[in-house]
Amino acid sequence: MALPRIPRERSLTYGLVESLGQLIVTGAYDVQPFPTEGQLSRQHGTSRSVTREAVKMLTAKGLLQARPRQGTSVTPEAQWNLLDPDVLRWLLERKFSLQLLAEFTEMRLAIEPAAAALAAARADREAIGRIREGLKRMKAAGQGEDEPVAADIAFHTAVLAATGNRFFAQLDPLINTALRISIRFTNRIKGRAAGIARHEEVLDAIAAGDAERAALAMRSLVGEVLALITAASTQSGTARKVARRTAST
């Protein structure tokens, strides 16, 4: 069946949101005012309606604010909605930040063990099958038959869905977005893809209905990721200090 076509104006709007979002987080408007809708339309070759909608979407993401008689301006970074997948992706891709990645992994450490425990208590055969399929894809990726990052993400998002909790399930886009950055980084440090055995421990505990073991297994898995990021951050900080001392001598 043919997929429905995205209306041209809608695709133009998304394209403008992507372009402006990247410009905002890379600091393009730190020393110059954010353009007016008319200026944006001329700069990007878009209609006023497309431009206006894009500005509204960026405002909803916390990146812009409009004030009477002052026009539209970029908000301070502290006000940006980090739980918006687009904002998180732009930030992580902007200047790769180990600190931001560590903070996100700390959030995972609070959420995913609880999700694994709920999945163990509630998951039906179909939900467990999706987690099993994620692990199967990870094993296939180890043989070069699947994409490692996509397979790993499929496993983790299947666990969230298996909780039967709508709030956990709606974290899927956020987890998906950040894991694409996080997994590539940690795999590069380890020189190999994610450990199958640790993921298998999570699946086995969920399938057995053992909530406590499932939580512990997931905590160990995500905790290992946080330890890698923390170690890399420490090494990076040490390297910067050495560089500064060397430059000052």
pLDDT at 96: 65
Q: Tell me the CATH number at 34.
A: 1.10.10.10
Mean pLDDT by 10 residues, the chain (249 residues): 45 92 92 92 93 96 90 93 89 78 90 97 97 96 88 94 93 85 74 77 98 98 91 66 44
- Measured CA to CA, the distance from residue 206 to residue 16 in angstroms comes to 43
Quote the domain boundaries for residue 120.
96-247
Asked whether residue 68 falls in the same domain as residue 139, the answer is no
- Those residues whose C-beta lies under 8 Å from the C-beta of residue 196, and which sit 6 or more positions away, are 135, 138, 139, 142
Q: Is residue 64 part of a domain?
A: yes
Please spell the DSSP secondary structure of 75-136, one letter per residue. Answer: PPGGGS-TTSHHHHHHHHHHS--HHHHHHHHHHHHHHHHHHHHHHHHH--HHHHHHHHHHHH
Domain-ending residue, one of 54, 79, 104:
79
Residues 65 and 170 in one domain: no
Q: What pLDDT is stored for residue 233 in this prediction?
A: 79
Inside any domain, residue 91: no
**Same domain? 236 vs 164:** yes
pTM: 0.77
Among 47, 79, 111, identify where a domain stops: 79
- Residues 17-38: pLDDT tens digits? 999 999 999 899 988 999 999 9
Are residues 15 and 55 both part of a single domain?
Answer: yes
- Which residues have a Cβ under 8 Å from the Cβ of 75 and sit 6 or more positions away? 62, 63, 64, 65
CATH number for position 131:
1.20.120.530
Please check whether residues 155 and 238 belong to one and the same domain.
Answer: yes
Domain count, the chain: 2
**Which backbone phi and psi does 72 adopt, to 5 degrees?**
-100, 135
